[in-house]
Structure 1
Amino acid sequence: MGNVLQREEMDQINGQDRFIKSFVEEEVYNLSKQVVYFPVRHHSPACAFHLKKTIEEYQPEIILIEGPDHSNHIIPILTDERTKPPVSIYYAYASGEQKYVCYFPFLQYSPEYVALVEAKRRQIPAAFIDLSYGSRLESLEDGHDLKKKNEKLSYHDERMLAGSQFIQRLCQTMKCRNFDELWEKVFEIDGIRKQTKDFVQDVFAYCYLSRKCYDDATLEAEGDLIREAHMRQKIAEAKQKHARILVVTGGFHTYGLIEERKTSYKIQKVQEEKIYPMVYTYQEADQLNGYASGMPYVHYYESVWKALEKKERAPFSKSALMYLPQLLKRLRDKGETTSTADAIEAYSLMNGLAVMREKAEGGAYELFDSVLSAFTKGERSIATSQPIETLRELLTGDGIGEVAPNSLDVPIVRDCKDRCKSLKLAITTTARNQKVLELYAKKSHREASQFFHCMQFLGTEFCTKETGPDWMNNRNVNLVRETWRYSYSSFVEARLIESSVYGGMVKEAAAHKLADMVKELPQHQSHELAKWLLMAVVMGLEELSERLFESVVESVRQDGHFLSLCKTLKTLTILLEQKRLFGLSETERLENLVEEVYYQAVTKIVEQGNPNPNELDELADQLKFLYMLSEKRQADDSREIFSDQLRELLRNDKLPAKLEGVVVAILCNLEVIDRAEISRRARAYMFGSPEQMLHTAAYLHGVFIVARDYLFHQEEILRDLHQMITALAYDDFLQVVPELRLAFTYFSPMEISMLSEKVAALFQTTVEQVTNPVIDERTLRDARMLDQAIKEEFAKWNLI
């Protein structure tokens, strides 16, 4: 490596070179010794390639691998023929109220996975020798960043390796854009053409020199020294039983495993640690997506690995020839205009760049640069970025692994996969799939909806609803279809594992989680209980729904709050109206409860004469809801009680104007009072005292909430409104306008057009004159720019 650094540093580097060469030959890669150390970069196909050669030549009796030693029981599952990488070991550890999780992924070409597979093929033992995740957290002071931030999601972390001053200097000298390009050039493309001992020497040199950029205090704080001490102990134990031991670890640790250190560390043993095998995805394993170790473009390097397995002489070129036709097809599917000539030119450019950059073959970075040049027409921008973005998608991959059936398989994960299979949901890739459900037409679609709602409630991030009825917020309940987007990943599986504390099936877990949430609710808040009852029904949790119904019945009898009772009534009404959709066959008890809540709410109307100002809007909406519900009811006594309560409320002199408008409009619609009463009260506001005049808009707002058609039958109100606005002072007008504008938002576009005609007739003009802006927007904008220019000019002359 000395030939790539500055000439003035050659003497120092030559000394290091001699030490490294001697150290590797004697201590690291000496096939005649009892222990052979093989330094790797995690998920490097070149490292895996030379590791297989080493295993073949050295014939070890046991292979020791950097990985949490508490997960050795997972190895048979990982090496099962039915396991298809990418897969991962999931670790979860709880300390007090805090929970920490991490992943230990394996790709098809990960050196650790190759070592495990080769050990099984040769029928020799393999074992992980690193600290367990929980011990690693507890043995460090404050758990370091792992515990303080809980941000590191991967067990291995190469940021110290890639971020060392040595690597940064090397990238600058070799004119590589980043560490990954440097690695690919030196170790992947050139590395597969070297002898294994030379490759190992180069990897060790690069890792050793990177390590020397950090002092012992930093290494100790990061947890490297305590981990290496633990691994040294495991190696010493193996030396008592085996004559040939192969140790496979990250190259950053190789020197630490061999050097003699007298410092001892106290390792904290932990018991409450959950360890499961789980699927993983290409996207999550990709370094560019936040994974802290390994290499980018996971699928690309897997294709290189497969080419190496087939003994291809130019594996990188072979991979490029595979991806370029795929890129053409994918771009055409997206509607991009591309030709075969573009792909041919890109391949030619890739080979030319490889020669210019002194590489035996063009790698991922040459492929990107050549596609950028050949496929991008014109200047590179967001509009022309599709070829590069699509290539990145292809090189990353969207596949998902598969774990062999096993006794450690978490029941809830298995149930989720079985449900997806029975509902014909595609979970074999990480692509975002769409599912449109005909809720009223197909039973299987209703079951799929229940499953989606359960998964969403458990917080798995498996699915999101794009369109459809929002039962919890009483929106769009008239829609008959639901549209969901869903995607399966290891993150979904991890969330399912975390939810397994609630139950072994998706429905069971959702039911127990919901039951725990309901326990925390105050008994007198019936509307909250009713909301969760509706949610339980939507999720298809029949047994829990029955228990929640009884809780709602008890809560209603303790609830004395008008708004809470109205919300409860609205929720129960949804259940009753959608009984066919929700599969409710016995509704007699529900009907009786609706009746009971209705009477409780209605009898509390008279108490709303002096409400909280912040609750006015909600009170108006709930009074309208009770009116609409009373219209659906056949019993005359229920309507009579409702109207009597409203008349009593109307006698309250302190009743806010908005509620007065709502009550008067409802009573007029019920034919309890004459419609002229609306106009009489409106004029009382319009032509009353200045304070009353300011409440006109609020009164009309209340009227329009219930009876906006009133304005079309009482045209004189428009003249009165015009007269009032004309008489208002400017400041009072500014105070009234927002409420007045809000009042007219209840009108539909067609109704606004009809009102425009009436206003135009009032002023004896055309509708266009009424609706068009007084000043053209462009004129106003030009005037503003001119005004600004004049101000700036005046400022230069100190005139303002």
Structure 2
Amino acid sequence: MIHILGIRHHGPGSARHVANFLSKVKPDIVLVEGPPEADELLQWVNHTDMQPPVALLLHQSDEPQKAVFYPFAEFSPEWQAMRYAREHNIHVRFMDLPVAHSFALDNEPATTAQEAEVEAVHGAAPTTAINELPNLDIPFKRNPMQHLASAAGFEDEEAWWEHMVEYRLDNTEVFEAIQEGVHALREDLPLPEVKRELLREAHMRKVIRQAEKEMFQNIAVICGAWHAPALSNMPKQKEDNDLLKGLPKVKIECTWIPWTYGRLSYDSGYGAGIPSPGWYEHNWKYPTDDGTRWMAKVASLFREKGMDTSVAHVMEAVRLADALAALRGLSRPGLEELNEATLSVLCNGDDIMMQLLHKELIVQDIIGQVPIDIPKPPLQLDIEKTQKRLRLPASADWKDYTFDLRKDTDLERSIFLHRLLLLGINWAHPTGVNSKGTFKESWRLQWDPNMTIEIIEKGSWGNTVESATSKYVVHLANTSATLPVICQLLEKALPAALHESVDVLMQQLNNLAAASGDVMQLMETIPTLVSISRYGNVRKTDAAMVSSLLQGMMTRICISLPQACTALNEEAANAMIDLFFGMNDAANTLQQADILAAWQATLQQVAHNLNSSPVIAGYATRLLSDYKILADETLVQHFHFAMSTATAPAVAAAWLEGFLRGSGTILLLDEALWSVVNNWVATLDEDTFLQVLPLLRRSFAHYTQPERRKLGEKAKSGPSTGKTVRMPSEETIDEARAMRGIPVVMQLLGLPLNTPGHAE
């Protein structure tokens, strides 16, 4: 005897009806709508470490990016059917059209544009969805089930199915009623025939016939409700054989992977998705709940977030949900009624907390678990074992970690995550300041099931994370021909402890640097190399390997830079200044006397060269002032020369913009420089002033609001004396008076006055 059980994918009521029906009829084989290639994986369904939600992943062997997922939750009818079969040691098989044929058919164009659209929807949705139905007067949502919903007085077919099937406790003749209703739709509606759906149903019938041929007497078939009539009223076997004859196929590989409730929801784009996985799980566990348990969970969540929610609130919300259900002619409140009651009573009409409710309870983004012994690609298996060994579990929600690189375990975690980033598997993202130079490193981890596809794709580079990452980095290095790209790869490869790749990158970087005549490109790489050279040993890497290369590149830059600063337009000059900042910071970071001296000599050449771009010459002068190479009268003389009447106003304004780049504090402290700038502006005639005003405004726009306010007050106060304000010397400090403030400071810090450091 054949029992056709038409269900809704991921429906808790459907799952309950299937489980009860199988327990009653006790079939000797169960056929489930799913990919036949995964039959061997069904043995893992009742494994103790298999915790749904999980999914079957099937991908094309030679093109891993061509993949499909078959997800299952605990409340999925197919999952309950598979669990029943494994627990009672009876046969269970998948019966859908093999994915090997589906992928091959995807390469063939659809016969019409309409069929292409219909077929796309058919492949994704649990029930048939069509492009157009002529001569229909009732509201239609691209789903034939809307007719049955309208006949029952529902505006939405989803609500109709939930209240008629999913919330039903008695499964008596429920499958017969579903099959009868769908049969009427398929008989009476002018639905277009879709090739892919005809092939799927033909293959399902083929599997059923094969089970009968093998002498199974009590066959249970679990399929989408729309397919039930097609499997009950079988055509001749020859018709199905002719339809399936000669189908193309490709090679397929498959495995189990963890899934998430978030990926089961509509929001993820899943065609057969459900709006509320968390609510469906609650309905599966507590089918008789009248809303009280659910409201108690809502109240508990709100209390955790600091929102006052009393027992009276819960009781009133349940009463309101019951009243809404009664007004709408429903036997019990559904999620819609409970949400409306929550919004009105618990949230006081404010939907902000409803967003939290949707995330934490209605969707409830949890992740499943699969046994580690399940056959998987070697790279995926290595990643999972490393995750377990380093205690970095995959989580559907984000989780923050802080590593102390002085600890061996945390250092190994950091190396592992850096390698995954290089492979393009973005499970982890650095969240803090780059930890080079410190012993702390912050990461945020969040797992997405789609990353499994990326892992399979990268598996062609190696069987372990280390080997795959090393070969992949070498591949990127060999296909890149620019210094910045190679330098970025080197910066990422060092914290990933890829020593072989680092050697290749260093050799290629040296070759490119020796052959490059582009000074700006060389300057772009310097900050990264300096960071590696200065801080690489924090991760126990050998940073000395880049020192000789760095010195050679700095020498090339210092020789070529003065000439490169001439004949530049405004855009190029501003780009060069940004590189100047990086170079200056690098020279200071290295703390090597020969490099610093060479850099300062280069700045002097740029500042004194009359052909240098004015804005760059001004910035070079500012850097020399910071180094105290130009100070006092010498600096004032440079200002007078650059701002003299012999200099075009636009050129003088550009020079001033370069000098003032970064901070205007120097004008507040040095009265001589302020006098030069102030007097220069005062000597400009009206036309010239209007000409340079945009440049001046741009120069001062980069300063902070307090700096601009103080400069404005200084200009408003009138002409200055021309004297330089100096900080008080040590001789002018009253030590006795300063010592009287120490007890107060110690008290503010909470330190006793007799601490060892107090005497100092």
Fold match, TM over 0.5? yes
Assess, with a 3 A threshold, how the Cα gap between structure 1 residues 632 and 389 changes in structure 2: closer, same or farther: closer
Deviation at 1:707, TM superposition (A): 8.7
Q: C-alpha displacement at 1:608, in angstroms?
A: 0.8
Which residue in the other structure is 1:448 paired with?
413
Name the structure 1 match of 2:489: 532
Matches within 5 A, 1:680-691: 680=637, 682-684=639-641, 686-688=643-645
**Counterpart amino acid of residue 621 in structure 2:** V
Alignment partner for residue 275 of structure 2, among 296, 315, 336?
A: 296
Is residue 73 from structure 1 mapped to residue 40 from structure 2 by the alignment? Answer: yes
- Measured after TM superposition, the shift of residue 201 of structure 1 is 2.1
Match in the other structure for 2:475? 516
Partner of 2:227: 253
Match of 2:457 among 498, 503, 512: 498
| Equivalent position SS for 1:105 | strand
Are residues 1:595 and 2:574 paired?
no
Task: Quote how far apart the aligned CAs of 1:239 are.
Answer: 2.5
Q: For 1:42, what is the secondary structure of its paired residue? A: coil
Q: CA deviation at 1:733?
A: 4.9
CA-CA distance at 1:347 after TM superposition: 2.4
Structure 2 counterpart of 1:120:
86
The 3 A distance-change label for structure 1 pair 209 and 515 is farther
Q: Kindly indicate whether residue 139 of structure 2 is the aligned counterpart of residue 168 of structure 1.
A: no
CA positional deviation for 1:744 = 3.4
Aligned twin of 1:375: 346
Equivalent residue, structure 2, for 1:346: 317
From 420, 432, 444, the counterpart of 1:467: 432
1:200 is aligned to: 175
Aligned to 2:752: none
Return closer, same or farther for 1:663/1:158 CA change in 2, 3 Å cut-off: same
How far did residue 694 of structure 1 move?
1.2
Trace 1:80-95 onto structure 2 (pairs within 5 A). Answer: 80-93=47-60
Q: Structure 1 residue 219 and structure 2 residue 191: aligned? A: no
Is 1:686–1:696's contact at 8 Å kept on the other side of the alignment? Answer: yes
Amino acid at match of 2:619: V
Q: Is residue 156–residue 292 contact of structure 1 (8 Å, CA) maintained in 2?
A: yes
Distance 2:688 2:458 in 1: 58
Contact 1:682-1:699 at 8 Å conserved across structures: no
Would the alpha carbon gap of residues 521 and 364 (structure 1) be closer, same or farther in structure 2, given more than 3 Å must change? same
SS in structure 1 of the partner of residue 460 of structure 2: coil
Q: 1:281 aligns with which of 257, 260, 269?
A: 260
CA deviations on 1:333-366 (whole Å, 9 max, x unpaired) are: 1111211111122223333444444444333333
Q: Does structure 1 conserve the Cα–Cα contact (< 8 Å) formed by 2:255 and 2:374?
A: no
Q: What corresponds to 1:715 in structure 2?
A: 671
Give the conservation status (yes or no) of the 8 Å contact 2:255–2:376: yes
Q: Identify which of 639, 645, 651 aligns with 1:695.
A: 651
Cα offset, 1:280, TM superposition: 0.8
Is the 8 Å Cα contact of residues 166 and 213 (structure 1) preserved in structure 2?
no
**Equivalent runs, 1:223-622 vs 2, <5 Å:** 223-244=196-217, 245-257=219-231, 258-260=233-235, 262=239, 264-265=243-244, 268-293=247-272, 295-307=274-286, 315-317=287-289, 320-377=291-348, 380-382=349-351, 385-387=352-354, 389-390=356-357, 393-427=360-394, 429-439=395-405, 442-469=407-434, 481-522=440-481, 525-584=482-541, 586-610=542-566, 612-613=568-569, 614-622=571-579
> Which SS does the other structure have where 2:235 is aligned?
coil
CA distance in 2, matches of 1:485, 1:634: 34
8 A contact 1:410–1:500 mirrored in 2: yes
2:744 paired with 1:744? no
Q: Secondary structure at the match of 2:250?
A: coil
Contact 2:7–2:225 (8 Å) recurs in 1? yes
CA distance in 2 between counterparts of 1:302 and 1:110 reads 10
Match of 1:189 in 2: 167
Secondary structure class of the residue paired with 1:293: coil
Structure 1 residue 163, shift from structure 2 partner: 4.0
Retained in 1: the 8 A contact 2:148–2:181?
Answer: no
Compute the displacement of 1:454 (Å).
Answer: 3.3
Cα distance, 1:693 vs structure 2: 0.6
The aligned amino acid for 1:300 is W
How far 1:289 sits from its partner (Å)? 4.1
Q: Tell me which of 96, 103, 109 is aligned to 1:130.
A: 96
**3-state SS of paired residue (1:249):** strand
> Which stretch has the larger CA shift, 628-637 or 342-351?
628-637
SS for the counterpart of 1:386 is: helix
- Counterpart CA distance in 1 for 2:252 and 2:645 is 75
Rounded to whole Å, the distance in 2 between the matches of 1:291 and 1:560 is 52
Secondary structure in 2 aligned to 1:274? strand
Unmatched runs of 5 consecutive residues or more in structure 1: 1-32, 308-314, 472-476, 765-800
Deviations 1:83-126 (A, max 9, x none): 11111001223787x93332101111222112212222332221
Question: Which segments of 5 or more consecutive residues in structure 2 lack a partner in the other structure?
Answer: 131-139, 721-760
- Does the CA contact (< 8 Å) of 2:437 and 2:535 recur in 1? no
Q: Secondary structure at the match of 2:367?
A: coil
Q: Secondary structure at the match of 1:204?
A: helix
In structure 1, the residue matched to 2:739 is: none
| Greater displacement, 636-645 / 128-137 | 636-645
Provide the C-alpha distance between the structure 2 equivalents of 1:480 and 1:151, rounded to a whole number of angstroms: 52
Distance 2:163 2:588 in 1: 78
Partner of 1:17: none
- Contact 1:69/1:131, CA 8 A, preserved across alignment: yes
- TM-score for the superposition, normalised by structure 2: 0.82
CA distance in 1, matches of 2:685, 2:295: 73
Letter in 2 for 1:84: Q
After superposing the two structures, state which structure 1 stretch, 675-684 or 226-235, moved more: 675-684
Q: Percent same amino acid among aligned pairs?
A: 20
In 2, the alpha carbon distance for the partners of 1:681 and 1:442 equals 53
**TM-aligned CA deviation for residue 521 of structure 1:** 0.7
How far the C-alpha of 1:701 sits from its partner, in A, is 2.4
**CA–CA distance in structure 1, aligned partners of residues 147 and 560 of structure 2:** 78
Q: 1:259: Cα distance to partner?
A: 4.6
Letter in 2 for 1:761: S
2:12 matches 1:45? yes
Q: CA deviation at 1:496?
A: 2.9
Q: Deviations over 1:672-691 (max 9, x none)?
A: 667656544544554546x8
Deviation at 1:447, TM superposition (A): 3.4
Deviates more, 1:559-568 or 1:264-273: 264-273
Larger deviation, residues 150-159 vs 621-630:
150-159
Q: Distance in 2 between matches of 1:446 and 1:367?
A: 49
2:670 & 2:523 partners in 1: Cα distance?
32
Aligned residue type for 1:189: Y
**Per-residue deviation, 1:237:** 2.6
Distance 1:724 1:175, change over 3 A: farther
Cα distance in 1 for partners of 2:26, 2:11 equals 22
Indicate the residue corresponding to 2:134 in structure 1.
none
CA-to-partner distance for each residue in 1:403-446, whole Å, 9 max, x for gaps?
1233413443343344334444353x52322223345x544434
**What TM-score, normalized to structure 1?**
0.78
Task: Check the 8 A contact 2:154/2:160 in 1, yes or no.
Answer: yes
Contact 2:54 2:256 in 1 (8 A): yes
Distance, in Å, in 2 between the alignment partners of 1:148 and 1:695 is: 64
| Alpha-carbon offset, residue 215 of structure 1 | 4.7
Match of 2:726 in 1: none
Matched, 1:758 2:714: yes
